[in-house]
């Protein structure tokens, strides 16, 4: 299930719809979908599918000869995802990311989208992905790294402290974006590429909904991350030109034997290019 930091204002399904419909959400989702390299006839599993936000796009890519399975542990989410399922190409199953309801080596593609930041054991979850992938299969993990949350404000220290609260208190695995490649390598998956998609927010209301700014201020004060006198920080955000950024890591892996030392390509989507082709 894809949920953002303390998304209590919206129910979880509505929150996912807001993320998917936002410009930053559309950008990283499109990038991750391209990384999956979908084509007709493939069998795909969407792990933590929620209300089925992405199931139709996956089904369109694999066509009538392919299949898409949405897995989520929340029966309320699966009830909504069932409205997308057609019983032929798209099916939904209840299950946990740590114990997928799929047999060994039965899918060609697997994906998670902002799911591993919340789970008890990300490495075990990624190992489950390895288990269900066929040899030669591919998985794509898209996860934010909350240490990259940057909110422009005159009170720079307050922005830093709020980021620390979200990273360390609100989100279970706040550094998961940068840790994905290491987890995948540890369970025997070949890391094909590590990409970063920077999301930029210019509208305070949208950023507040997705990033949970206002609703977490009091909690940040209670946790000691924000000082009591820094409540006015959020008021300034409403009235100043607003800018915030958050980076999503998109890691592409394959279930193939490593040969001659894996190459790890690290980059941002064009036109930005941080680093290309690091030979391991």
What pLDDT digit, counting tens, does each position of 60-74 carry? 999 999 999 999 999
This prediction has a pTM of 0.87
| Pairing of β 244-254 and β 150-151 | antiparallel
pLDDT digits (tens, 9 = 90+) for 177-200: 999 999 999 999 999 999 999 999
Q: Which two structure tokens, joined as six digits, stand for 260?
A: 């001659």
| 250 vs 1, residue with greater confidence | 250
List the beta strands (DSSP E) in the chain.
Answer: 43-47, 67-72, 90-94, 107-113, 133-144, 150-151, 190-201, 244-254, 263-267, 278-279
Structural contact between residues 101 and 93, judged by C-beta atoms closer than 8 angstroms: yes
- Using pLDDT thresholds of 50, 70 and 90, give the confidence band for residue 267: low
- Using pLDDT thresholds of 50, 70 and 90, give the confidence band for residue 257: low
How many Cβ atoms from other residues are within 10 Å of residue 175's Cβ? 17
| 25 vs 259, residue with greater confidence | 25
What is residue 166's DSSP assignment?
A: I
Can you give the residue ranges of every domain in the chain? 12-144+174-199+248-256+263-270
Task: Look up the CATH number of domain 12-144+174-199+248-256+263-270.
Answer: 3.40.50.150
């Amino acid at each position: 299930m894809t949920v953002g930091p303390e998304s209590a204002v919206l129910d979880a399904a509505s929150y996912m719809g807001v993320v998917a419909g936002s410009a930053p959400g559309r950008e990283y989702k499109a990038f991750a979908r391209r990384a999956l390299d979908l084509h007709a006839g493939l069998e795909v599993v969407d792990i933590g599918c929620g209300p089925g936000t992405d199931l139709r796009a996956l089904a369109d890519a694999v066509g009538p000869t392919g299949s898409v399975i949405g897995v989520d542990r929340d029966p309320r989410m699966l009830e909504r995802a069932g409205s997308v399922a057609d019983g032929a190409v798209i099916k939904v199953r209840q299950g946990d990311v740590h114990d997928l309801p799929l047999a060994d080596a039965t899918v060609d593609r697997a994906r998670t989208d902002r799911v591993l930041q919340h789970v008890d054991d990300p490495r075990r979850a990624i190992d489950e992905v390895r288990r269900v992938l066929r040899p030669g299969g591919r998985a794509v993990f898209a996860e934010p790294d909350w240490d990259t949350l940057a909110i422009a404000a005159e009170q720079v220290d307050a922005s830093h402290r709020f980021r620390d609260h979200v990273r360390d208190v609100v989100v279970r695995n706040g550094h998961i974006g940068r840790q994905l490649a290491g987890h995948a390598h540890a369970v025997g998956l070949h890391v094909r590429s590590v990409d970063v998609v920077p999301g930029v927010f210019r509208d305070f209301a949208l950023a507040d909904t997705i990033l949970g700014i206002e609703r977490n201020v009091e909690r940040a004060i209670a946790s000691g991350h924000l000082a009591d006198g820094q409540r006015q920080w959020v008021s300034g955000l409403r009235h100043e030109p607003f800018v915030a950024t958050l980076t999503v890591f998109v890691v592409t892996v394959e279930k193939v034997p490593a040969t001659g030392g894996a190459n790890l390509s690290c980059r941002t989507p064009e036109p930005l290019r941080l680093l290309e082709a690091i030979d391991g």
